[in-house]
């Protein structure tokens, strides 16, 4: 007996959409719910729950003296990296490489993609060695060659190290998006500007930037979010130190949970990030071409 | 471009040849300036990578930089001369010959200056399965480290299984979302978009707890499932885009010829989206190969270590001073990523979602 059209349609949906839905529910939806639930418990190192409490939130709002400093560090880190590298330098790289012949431009873009291509552990290792305070550190060798005294960036300017390390990776994202945006600007706009007597910088300011403002806001928003929640490279390079000098919020959450065993407090702190994440994700929505995405399928035969 | 700008109206008769020559010079100067900026700006990236590479093949206990400086002393002037040739001489046979001569001189110099220092000693971790014990013999700390091939195998397994899961699941879902109308389709797509932008890293605590509760902690399965799920929203969108681009007439004609919907999908449509499957596959593979935070959190046993954990603990625990061998391991770990990225860049750049590359 063959199944009826309705049953077969259901079966199709289960077959095609089922696995994806299951995985997404298990690893996005369930964790969000678990996170909210855990935030109201007293789960500690033994992973046991003995009672419900709102103590975590009280501690977050009043009791945690470290928290304010951590938030300040996060703000400085995110704003500096975003402005200087993810948007600023990404834009400069895109403008310069598109002004050059295609092959050379592609070469330099590939160079800037190198940090993104390498596994984080290798990239962090390179930074650790470059800024190593010993005579072996690459930076100190170069300084010694120039007759300058050795420096210890990791202790004296840790914020600079993490901004540079993350910025070198972050610049490539903006670079890629801005490059394709600049390429898609109609050529005649540039010609018109030239005829009107505009120089190179005036063209960038009056033609290129207005044409890619959509991408500029997209990259700013998207990268602000990913800088806010990612702590991988900071963790690997400075481990949040010295003291708490480079402990950003996301790293603080992780350390509270997995190093101090305060899972419940970590979950409560993470809730803040989750909310910011959802809000930004909703905002980012507007940047996708929703109409093309939601157009009705052209074929429906069962 | 500058030629047009220079042709601004002027009262006196214009010496066009001079104007053109001036604008050509200016243009060349600008180009040179841009190249200079890019080269200088890229040095902080290129030099450390070059250092890693040279130390891996020449260092002996300690981070020797001799080979690096010699390499740079040859390469940088060569680069400058090359750009002068490219910008100064008109394209043609003589230029090509000059370039070849430059290449030959550079290679000879490189070989002469660095050749005697090159050796493969730092790569002995590849054929010595107990390298950690051999190195730790002096310090006498007994800590069983796995062989590098165990970690390599784990990474390979993690990356390829995760890649397979992503390809299969997102292809099925992408096809359904592209072709079928069902109640809630619009909200499903909207939900996927939000998930795509949503930072999954914030969920690491509950994911750890879930894995603990279902008993999957410290298994490769847990990492495979987690990373695959996190890749899904993006992969599904890419696949949906590829399916959207396949004209539905070919499916239609297959079904008129008597094929069932599933047969048409398998034999007719699927071959059309091979590039898409390849692209998300490579992307997923690289993601699995590079993963650090989730493996560090979810895997504990040394036998389960992936390459990232192996490299991390090796340099942290065992051989903090043998920079040369750590460099070789770094090169060993980074090379597959870079080669795969470079070789498949063509496919990777074809992935777009809604006009925005992700």
Q: Does A299 touch chain B (CB under 8 A)?
A: yes
Measured CA to CA, the distance from residue A88 to residue A59 in angstroms comes to 38
Mean predicted confidence (pLDDT) in A287-300: 58
Among residues A169, A161, A182, the alpha carbon closest in space to that of A89 is found at A169
The answer to whether A97 touches A108, Cβ cutoff 8 Å, is: yes
The most confident of A276-285, B118-127, B240-249, B328-337, by mean pLDDT: B328-337
Q: pTM above 0.90? A: no
Q: Does A160 touch chain B (CB under 8 A)?
A: no
The answer to whether A255 touches B204, Cβ cutoff 8 Å, is: no
Among residues B279, B289, B278, the alpha carbon closest in space to that of B159 is found at B289
Among residues A129, A151, A134, A106, the alpha carbon closest in space to that of A237 is found at A129
Question: Hey, are the CB atoms on B168 and A19 less than 8 Å from each other?
Answer: yes
Tell me the per-residue pLDDT of B187-200, one tens digit each, with 9 for 90 and over.
Answer: 888 888 888 878 88
Q: Does B292 touch chain A (CB under 8 A)?
A: yes
Least confident of B5-19, B97-111, B113-127, B136-150: B136-150
Give residue B142's pLDDT: 47
Measured CA to CA, the distance from residue B156 to residue B289 in angstroms comes to 7
Does the pLDDT value for residue B98 go beyond 50?
yes
Measured CA to CA, the distance from residue B331 to residue B55 in angstroms comes to 10
Measured CA to CA, the distance from residue A81 to residue A63 in angstroms comes to 30
| ipTM exceeding cut-off 0.90 for this assembly | no
Confidence grade of residue A142 (pLDDT, cut at 50, 70, 90): confident
Confidence grade of residue A299 (pLDDT, cut at 50, 70, 90): low
Confidence grade of residue B63 (pLDDT, cut at 50, 70, 90): low
The answer to whether A162 touches A235, Cβ cutoff 8 Å, is: no
Q: Does A6 touch chain B (CB under 8 A)?
A: no
Confidence grade of residue B292 (pLDDT, cut at 50, 70, 90): very high
Measured CA to CA, the distance from residue B144 to residue B161 in angstroms comes to 27
Mutation pick from A6, A19, A28 vs chain B, by most beta carbons of B within 10 Å, is A28
Question: Hey, are the CB atoms on B251 and A292 less than 8 Å from each other?
Answer: no
Average pLDDT, chain A: 85
């Amino acid at each position: 007996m063959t199944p009826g059209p309705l049953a077969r349609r259901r079966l199709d949906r289960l077959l095609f959409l089922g696995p994806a839905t299951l995985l997404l529910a298990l690893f996005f939806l369930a964790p969000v719910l678990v996170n909210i639930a855990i935030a109201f418990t007293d789960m500690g190192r033994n992973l046991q729950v003995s009672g419900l409490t709102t103590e975590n939130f009280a501690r977050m709002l009043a009791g945690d003296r470290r928290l304010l400093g951590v938030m300040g560090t996060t703000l400085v880190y995110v704003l500096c990296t975003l402005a200087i590298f993810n948007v600023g330098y990404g834009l400069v790289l895109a403008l310069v490489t598109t002004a050059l012949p295609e092959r050379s431009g592609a070469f330099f873009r590939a160079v800037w993609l190198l940090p993104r291509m390498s596994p984080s552990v290798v990239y962090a290792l390179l930074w650790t060695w470059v800024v190593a305070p010993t005579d072996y550190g690459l930076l100190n060798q170069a300084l010694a060659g120039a007759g300058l005294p050795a420096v210890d960036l990791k202790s004296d300017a840790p914020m600079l190290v993490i901004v540079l390390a993350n910025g070198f990776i972050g610049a490539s994202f903006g670079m890629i998006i801005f490059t394709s945006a600049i390429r898609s600007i109609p050529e005649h706009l540039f010609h018109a500007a030239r005829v009107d007597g505009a120089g190179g910088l005036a063209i960038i300011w009056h033609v290129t930037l207005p044409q890619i403002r959509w991408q500029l806001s997209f990259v700013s928003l998207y990268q602000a979010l990913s800088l806010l929640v990612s702590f991988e490279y900071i963790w690997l390079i400075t481990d949040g130190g010295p003291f708490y000098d480079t402990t950003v919020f996301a790293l603080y959450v992780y350390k509270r949970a997995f190093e101090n065993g305060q899972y419940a407090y970590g979950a409560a702190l993470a809730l803040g990030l989750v909310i910011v994440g959802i809000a930004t994700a909703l905002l980012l929505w507007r940047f996708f071409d929703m109409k093309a995405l939601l157009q009705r399928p052209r074929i429906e035969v069962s | 471009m500058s030629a047009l700008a220079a042709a601004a109206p002027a009262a006196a008769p214009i010496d066009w040849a001079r104007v053109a020559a001036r604008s050509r010079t200016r243009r060349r100067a600008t180009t040179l300036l841009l190249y200079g900026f890019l080269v200088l700006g890229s040095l902080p990236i290129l030099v450390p990578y070059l250092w890693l590479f040279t130390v891996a093949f020449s260092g002996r206990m300690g981070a020797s930089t001799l080979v690096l400086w010699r390499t740079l002393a040859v390469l940088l002037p060569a680069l400058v001369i090359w750009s002068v040739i490219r910008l100064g001489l008109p394209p043609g046979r003589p230029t090509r010959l000059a370039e070849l001569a430059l290449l030959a001189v550079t290679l000879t110099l490189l070989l002469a200056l660095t050749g005697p220092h090159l050796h493969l000693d730092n790569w002995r971790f590849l054929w010595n399965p107990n390298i950690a014990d051999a190195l730790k013999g002096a310090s006498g700390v007994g800590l069983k480290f796995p062989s590098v091939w165990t970690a390599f195998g784990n990474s390979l397994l993690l990356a390829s299984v995760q890649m397979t899961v992503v390809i299969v699941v997102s292809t099925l879902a992408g096809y359904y979302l592209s072709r079928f109308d069902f109640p809630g389709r619009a909200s499903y797509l909207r939900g996927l978009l939000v998930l795509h932008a949503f930072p999954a890293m914030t969920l690491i605590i509950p994911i750890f707890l879930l894995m603990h509760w279902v008993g999957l902690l410290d298994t490769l399965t847990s990492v495979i499932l987690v990373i695959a799920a996190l890749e899904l929203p993006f992969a599904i969108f890419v696949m949906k885009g590829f399916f959207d681009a396949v004209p539905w007439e070919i499916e239609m004609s297959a079904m008129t010829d008597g094929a069932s919907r599933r047969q048409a999908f398998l034999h007719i449509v699927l071959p059309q989206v091979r590039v898409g499957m390849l692209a998300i596959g490579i992307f997923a593979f690289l993601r699995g190969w590079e993963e650090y935070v989730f493996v560090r959190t979810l895997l504990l046993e040394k036998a389960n270590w992936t390459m990232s954990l192996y490299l991390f603990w090796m340099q942290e625990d065992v051989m903090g001073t043998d920079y040369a061998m750590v460099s070789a391991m770094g090169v060993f770990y980074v090379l597959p990523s870079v080669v795969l990225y470079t070789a498949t860049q063509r496919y990777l750049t074809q992935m777009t979602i809604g006009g925005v590359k992700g």
